[in-house]
Amino acid sequence: MVAIRFLRFSIIFFVTKYRYQVLQGVISKDHVHFLVSAPPNMAPSEIMRRVKGRSS
């Protein structure tokens, strides 16, 4: 599953770049769930903008 490996790499890149921490996550064939710890001054909408910008 090349797509799943790429997605894992992308998530690792994302959390390393922005210094977030993945607390829990699940990758399915058609969607992803993950719980992220981020600085309190970071709005959830900003986190999602960054995630979707990287994964689109």
Pull the structure tokens for residue 54: 């990287």
Q: Is the pLDDT of residue 18 over 80?
A: yes
pLDDT digits 0-9 by tens, 26-52 = 988 888 898 999 999 989 999 888 877
Structural domains in the chain (count): 1
State how far the alpha carbon of 41 is from the alpha carbons of 11, 14, 38, 48, in Å: 21, 18, 8, 14
More confident residue, 43 or 8: 43
Segments forming the whole domain that contains residue 7: 2-55
SS3 state at 37: strand
| Phi, psi (rounded to 5 degrees) for 38 | -135, 165
